Amino acid sequence: MSEKEKPRNCLHVISCSGNIIATYDKRKLYGKEATAYSKGHTPLTITINGTKCGFLICYDSCFPRLYELYRRQGVKLLFHSYYNAKNEGAGTSLDDLILAQLRTGAADNQMWISASNSSARHSRLAACIARPDGSVVSTRRHMSGIVTHSVPDSALGWTYDNRTE
């Protein structure tokens, strides 16, 4: 199968009227994914209600430069879609690492990150919102739920701006 024939692991942005208005293709493929999928090459930004938004999928979180790219483009809210569930056995350090990457990505880049995931067992991450101060609002792992939060809010804790060099 040629690179052109492979499908892409993507997410669609759907308007209030139900139309697909944009598509983001996962840029970083993990392990055997590359045998089944083609990787994306470009970031996606759109403005929703006056807020510039960006998008990532799952393993993209392991690459800080993807967050930095969105920061440089002025993104204030990043939607990060995961499906990391039904893992065999008990939890691993990956359970902590994924959340740490989101906290760090939000704080280092002064953005909000809305991360979705399955609630099936064993899910590596509960759906959550990482704030620019590195704090997190989340659901409970392995339980159905929805996270809501006003973005932005004025009650941020300690923050820093590492963008000045």
Assess whether pLDDT exceeds 80 at residue 124: no
C-alpha atoms less than 13 angstroms from C-alpha of 139 in its C-beta half-sphere: 20
Domain spans of the chain, in order of start: 46-138
Beta bridge partners of 112: 77
Q: What is the model's pLDDT at position 4? A: 67
What integer best gives the mean pLDDT of the chain? 85
Render pLDDT for 55-81 as a digit per residue (tens, 0 to 9).
999 889 889 999 999 999 999 999 998
In three-state secondary structure terms, 136 is strand
Q: How far is CA 95 from CA 18, 98, 101, 106, in A?
A: 34, 6, 11, 18
Q: What is the model's pLDDT at position 5? A: 77
Q: What is the model's pLDDT at position 1? A: 47
DSSP state letter for 8: B
State the residue for tokens 């499906």: 83
Q: What is the model's pLDDT at position 11? A: 94
Assess whether pLDDT exceeds 80 at residue 114: yes
DSSP 51-101: EEEEEEEGGGGG-HHHHHHHHHTT--EEEEE------SSS--HHHHHHHHH
State the residue for tokens 């804790």: 157
Model-level pTM?
A: 0.85
Angle at 108 between CA 155 and CA 95, to 5 degrees: 90
Q: What is the model's pLDDT at position 86? A: 67
Task: Indicate the fold that domain 46-138 takes in CATH.
Answer: Nitrilase/N-carbamoyl-D-aminoacid amidohydrolase (3.60.110)
